[in-house]
Homo-oligomer: A and B are copies of this chain.
Amino acid sequence: MATITKVSPLAPAAFPDLPVIDGVTFATMAAGVKYQGRTDVMLALLAPGTTVAGVFTKSSTRAAPVLDCQAKLGGPSDGAAAILVNSGNANAFTGKGGVAAVEAITAAVAQTCGVEQGRVFTSSTGVIGEPLPAERITAVLDRLHQDQNPDQIEAAAQAIMTTDTFPKGAMALVEIDGKTVSIAGIAKGSGMIAPNMATMLVYIFTDAVASQNALQAMVTRHADRTFNSITVDSDTSTSDTLLVAATGASGVSVDGNAAFEAALHGVMQNLAHQVVKDGEGATKFVEINVTGATTNADAKTHAMAIANSPLIKTAIAGEDPNWGRVVMAVGKSGAPADRDLLSIRFGDIEVATKGFVSPGYAEADAAAHMKGTDIRIGVDLGMGTGASTVWTCDLTHGYIEINADYRS
């Protein structure tokens, strides 16, 4: 296992102060799934009536817990609910044994905590292809049940880390009809250990009252513009999971409420940015903003082609305002583009205008922007009104060091 001791230079100064969410409690344990000397299981219990929405990896080789969660989202939605997450083992590519492990864990949580098994959601993150030792997890369930505490969300964020260099949390408070609705979320991703991959797990809790249908629609809509608009290395995990749970304890209904939706979007975007800022070897946080495309989907295709280009990511690492590579990425993306309408900005500096280097462009200006930590690349296609913003990080020696490290 690669030893990653240094916290990302892009990490926030501290874990934020997250509000307690009425109707949610947490506990964590060191179950020894794989790691020694640290917590590796977290159990969150959700009050009766909590609605749960989710978005999952589209991988065709997705792990057993993901398939189980997806099946359960359409199931019963009245009683209490539980979310159990382990780190250290992904329970992926583990065949029928993997399915049996999920069955054993969810059955044990249901019995211990008095929750319907159809309302027990699990995630696993860590090594692929090794059987998950479910008994190590079920052995600590009594303690996880007894230790439940509403104020342990930071501990939960720590227990789900694999090679993350910092725990990730974000929050929002929304005033609706004179009452306060709270949102608190945690995430893990994107350090990795051979033979793992950058799994992203996200759990967001709110005391809002939300119908499952409305919450699911909202989460799906905003996942597309947050978690599905980030990329570290274009690789997709078999375990990516986002769950949003609304306990209803505030008594404030948010179905169709724009202020709540904006606040939820903010929490999702904040967590998504933190995942990028913990990208393997990242030294720069990069925003790619594409406008003027024929459609929003085309804009995103171009933006992702730029964000995933190794040539662009290495140029950013080298603080090189290499706009020729941006032309290349737009050209290869497969979405419509017209070379002679294309304009490119680095930060606020107009580099190329309608297919030609901008008059008065001085490379020194763009180079100055590239020396910062927050890099912005803007592309206008000059064709329509489609737009998209995505976020990524640079590609550095650190990425190679972390990922080429041979398991000893």
Chain A residues near B (Cβ < 8 Å): 57-62, 92-95, 127-129, 192, 194-197, 233-238, 308-311, 314-315, 317-320, 322-325, 327-333, 336-340, 342, 352, 355-357, 367, 395-397, 399-400, 403-407
Name the contact of A404 in the complex, choosing from B58, B314, B330, B342 (C-beta under 8 A): B314
Report the bound CA distance from A395 to B280 in whole Å: 15
Other CB < 8 Å A-B pairs besides A59-B332, A61-B327, A233-B311, 9 of them?
A: A93-B327, A95-B340, A129-B356, A194-B315, A195-B315, A195-B322, A317-B404, A318-B406, A399-B400
A406 adjacent to B93 (CB under 8 Å): no
B61 adjacent to A93 (CB under 8 Å): no
B61 adjacent to A323 (CB under 8 Å): no
A238 adjacent to B92 (CB under 8 Å): no
Chain A to chain B contacts (Cβ below 8 Å), 28 pairs: A59-B328, A61-B330, A61-B331, A61-B339, A92-B327, A93-B324, A93-B339, A93-B342, A93-B356, A94-B356, A129-B324, A129-B327, A195-B315, A197-B311, A197-B324, A197-B325, A197-B328, A234-B310, A235-B311, A235-B332, A236-B328, A236-B332, A314-B399, A314-B400, A320-B404, A395-B404, A397-B400, A400-B400
A328 adjacent to B237 (CB under 8 Å): yes
The number of times this chain is found in the oligomer is 2
A404 adjacent to B318 (CB under 8 Å): yes
Task: Note all chain B residues with C-beta closer than 8 A to A95.
Answer: 340, 355-356
Task: Note all chain B residues with C-beta closer than 8 A to A357.
Answer: 93, 129
Smallest Cβ distance from A399 to chain B, in angstroms?
Answer: 7
B236 adjacent to A331 (CB under 8 Å): yes
A330 adjacent to B60 (CB under 8 Å): yes
Task: Note all chain B residues with C-beta closer than 8 A to A319.
Answer: 406
Report the bound CA distance from A172 to B370 in whole Å: 49
B328 adjacent to A61 (CB under 8 Å): yes
Task: Note all chain B residues with C-beta closer than 8 A to A237.
Answer: 328
Among residues of B, the one whose C-beta sits closest to the C-beta of A312 is: B235
